[in-house]
Each structure stands twice: as C-alpha cells, then as structure tokens.
Structure 1
Amino acid sequence: MANVLKFECIDNARQLGGIVAGGRHVKENMLFRSGNLSLATENDLHRLRDEFGIRLVIDLRSDFEYMRKQDKLLDGMSMVSIPVLDELLRNSALKKEQITPAKGEGMMELLFKVAGYPWATKLKDVLYSYFAEGDYAHRQFGEFFKIVLAQKGAPILWHCTSGKDRAGFGSVLMLAALGADDNAILDDYTESENSYRKQLEVMTAKGRESGMTDAQLDVLHFLVSVKREYMETPVKLINEKYGSLLNFIRQKIGVSQDEIDMLRKYYLE
C-alpha cells in the first residue's frame, strides 16, 4: 500500500491518507499510526517532526509498557498517555506480571512464554471482544477522540507496542468516524501483517523446533502479527448491537455528530 512508511527503527508505520471515506479521501500525511517509538533513531524522529509535522504522539500502552520502553521524542514534540487495557489487566487472567519481561529476558523469550500459558489460547478473543464491549476501553477511546479534535487538524500519530491491536482499533474508529466503509477499514488493519511477516516466519520456525502445539503457534501468530478475522470479531459484535461502527462511536465512544463533522472538515478532502 502507498501509505506504508519505512523508518529505520519504527515498526509498522503508515498514514491513513488516500483511504476513501464517504465519497471523499483522507488527507495525505495527517493521521499516522505505528509501533512504539522507544527505538526510534534521530533520523526517524526528525522525519516525524520536520517532514510530517507531528508534534503530538498518543501512546495507547499501559503504564508498565511505556515505563519500560519510553518513547523517544525531540524538542517540540509531546506525548499523551491513554492506556486502553488497564482494566482488562486488573480483572482477567491476563496479568501484567506475566506479560512484562523479566530482568534480562528478551522479547522473543517473553512471547514464547506467554504463548505457553493455558489462558493464552483465549487471548485474542478476550482482547478484541473487549474493544467492542469494555466500558473502560470505550472511555479511553473517547479521550483519544478528544485529543485528536483538540489538534484542530494538525498531524498526529498514535501507537501501542506493535501498532496493530490497540492502535489498530483506534484506526478502525477514526476511519469509521471519517466515513470509510468496513472493508476499507479492515484492509488498513490487515496491512499490519506485512510489517511482521518475516519476524513471524522466524518465530514460527523456532516455535515448531521447540515443540509448540498448533494452538500455541496460533497464539504466537496473534502476538506477533494479525489476521483479518481478529478485527472482524469486534466489528461484527458492534454492527450486530449498534447497527454500524458510526452508531457505536456516537453512542458508546461519546463522539457527537458535530464532532464527527469537525473531524471530517479537518481530515478529509
């Protein structure tokens, strides 16, 4: 896709420009999504600030994630934290202690460990359903929209850890608010698979060598990459309950029609 952006050390980065939304198009180089910026190089950061004009970054990670790997930013750039999963981590089998790397533990080791937990086979269903049904997540994404609206049409970037799940659902909501149809929205989400294809192939091979079951390999795939069906889960739940993503945004995320109209004024052409 033309909107995929290649950086030295920022994963899964792209902008939403050019996507058809309500008979118009999202403006180029205004709305950005990516993985976290903790490994960003000086060149990467200068591109974000000086080439694309990004001054504000929205971090959708939980506190233990961004404290361990804080975003790198340049002068003139700032970050707003809007953790999306904190309530889920407090109230489910998914404990932050289990998904936080131990001292000296690498990310690959952590992912293999998580994939081996008995509860992990239900992880993708719990996570993506939570986007559709979790009141806390709804309030946090409502805050996400408030922050974007406050920029009054300025370029903005949002991210989570890998830029595929939380950042992915943020993009689903933003594109729906702008008037994109479900197929275009899911196409953008699925593009994340290409960003992690090689990494997934390496980890799958290592997983098979270590004796992982097919169910554990499926969890590993979920942790590292995406499948269209993952995001289809909350989209289907939302459409069944609210009739459309747009109705969901108005009724549960708390974005008014006037605010939706303003977003379209800012970010469509």
Structure 2
Amino acid sequence: MSVKNYPSSLPNLREAGGLPASGGRIRAGLLYRSAVPHTIDEPLTGWLGTENITQIFDLRSTVETSRLPGFPETLQTITRTRLPLLEGALAVPSTMPSLEELYLPLVANHGGVWAKIAGAVAQSNEATLVHCTAGKDRTGVAIALLLLAVGADRDAVLADYAASTAALSGPWLESMRTMLAAHDITMTEKMQNLMVGTSIAGLERALDLAITGHGSIADYLLAHGLTAKQFEALGQRLVSGS
C-alpha cells in the first residue's frame, strides 16, 4: 500500500493500491477505505479533490447516521450513497453482536449491496471511498470482496483488514468514548472490542461462505447482480500488470 499525507479528520484511512494480485498489483489511487469523518474540514475536502474521489459509499445504519452525519449527500463533485447495513444491530449496547457474529450475515444477506458497490467502482473513471463508522467491519467485508474478486492475494487482503485495530486505537477510540458518553452510554469492554477489534477468522468464515455457495468470490458477486461486463471492467480497472 502506498503511503500518503492523509487528512487527520478521516480516521482509519488507507487505499488498496499496491496489494499483490494475480498478474500484478492493485492500482493506486482508485479504492479507499476509512472511518466516518467527525468533521468536514478544508484539509479533508482538499484531499478528496486531489485524489479525484467522486463517489462515497456510507454503510452505516440510520441510528449511526443520526448520531454523526458524516459526509453530506453532495460535496464538490462527489456523490455520497448510503447503503445502510446492520440496522438495529448496533442500537442497543447490551445486545450488540460479537465480531464473529457480524460477518456471516453481511455476506449471507447483503450480496446485492456488495455487487452494487463493485459495479459502481467498475464503471467509475475516478476514485471511490467506502466507509462505515470505524471503516473496519462492513467496510472490511466490502473491500475484501472487491479485491478478492479480481484476484488480490488473500493473505494481503486479510492483513490490510487487520490493520484497522492499530489505526483505530488511541485518539479515535477516545473520541468515540466521548461521543457515547454524550448520549449517556458507557463503553463496555465488549463495545470497545467491537469498535477497534478485528477477527481474521470471522472474516475468513464469511468469505468461505460465499465461495462454498457460489464457487468463487467473483461468482458470488455475479450471482447478486454484478454483470459479466462490469466484472471484466472491474478487473481491468483495479489490477495493474506491473
């Protein structure tokens, strides 16, 4: 992955560029992931313009977006699309699922969401940013499916997913603790693990579910609405031969 001067107002931000893939590497400057921004400031808007990001996918539930708006519907030349996932699952702290319980239903029940994102990336001439609240779980599934569909190295994809724990620990976690306290919610150990923890085993089980049911990640996306033409374009767009 390439290293850039990322805006501090967009936590857990990185791109997929540079990850090894069959026949080459994932192209730089096309696919980004992050947490939700707590503020839209000048360094952030300037960075979005410099990186030619024209579409943003927000995977947060309506409860999460009500607490923190994040990106506006339109910003400069950028269009934000909300694809709410885990509706209700994160609303009541005492009933929050574990990490291992999150990923299987995301793959089992939301193939159309991932196919829609894949198709949009394939058809875009510019860059895409995918985010949820932490940029870790829903975003992790999205990025993993897109990259593995075009032949990215599985170990590299999983290592990229796991990098979120270090990126989110510290200032970001403290900001979330403060925000929850403002809503009279005390962060428990389980909540903290859900916010910054990662589970490679849990993600792998979900990915294997897609493969077992459809033969490959690519076939999983094709079965849920990605067209053959879009899939071909996705590979051409994301994978560089050098």
If the TM-score is normalised by the length of the shorter chain, which range does it land in? 0.7 to 0.9
In the TM superposition, 1:54-65 aligns within 5 A as 54-65=53-64
Query: Does the 8 A contact of 2:119 with 2:234 survive in 1?
Result: no
Give, in whole Å, the separation in 1 of the partners of 2:90 and 2:130. 24
- Please state whether the residue corresponding to 1:10 is helix, strand or coil: coil
Match of 2:143 in 1: 171
Query: Does the 8 A contact of 1:38 with 1:72 survive in 2?
Result: no
Give, in whole Å, the separation in 2 of the partners of 1:66 and 1:83. 9
Q: How far did residue 247 of structure 1 move?
A: 2.7
Change (3 A) 1:221 1:179: same
Q: How far did residue 192 of structure 1 move?
A: 0.9
Between the aligned residues of both structures, percent identity stands at 23
Give, in whole Å, the separation in 2 of the partners of 1:63 and 1:201. 21
Q: How far did residue 4 of structure 1 move?
A: 6.9
Q: 2:122 aligned with 1:149, yes or no? A: yes
Q: What is the total number of aligned residue pairs between the two structures?
A: 226
Gaps of 5+ in 1: 99-113, 204-215
Q: 2:107 aligned with 1:132, yes or no? A: yes
Correspondence for 2:164 among 177, 192, 197? 192
Change (3 A) 1:154 1:132: same
**Higher share in helix:** 1
Change (3 A) 1:262 1:202: closer
Q: How far did residue 43 of structure 1 move?
A: 0.8
TM-score in terms of structure 2 length: 0.82
Residue by residue, what CA displacement relative to the aligned partner does 1:168-200 show, whole Å, maximum 9, x if unpaired?
Answer: 111011101221132122111111122023359
Gaps of 5+ in 2: 176-187
What letter matches 1:43 in structure 2?
A: P
Correspondence for 1:161 among 109, 127, 133? 133
Q: How far did residue 265 of structure 1 move?
A: 1.6
Correspondence for 1:123 among 80, 86, 98? 98
Correspondence for 1:254 among 206, 225, 228? 225
What letter matches 1:185 in structure 2?
A: V
Query: Does the 8 A contact of 1:17 with 1:30 survive in 2?
Result: yes
Query: Does the 8 A contact of 1:176 with 1:245 survive in 2?
Result: yes
Match of 2:11 in 1: 11
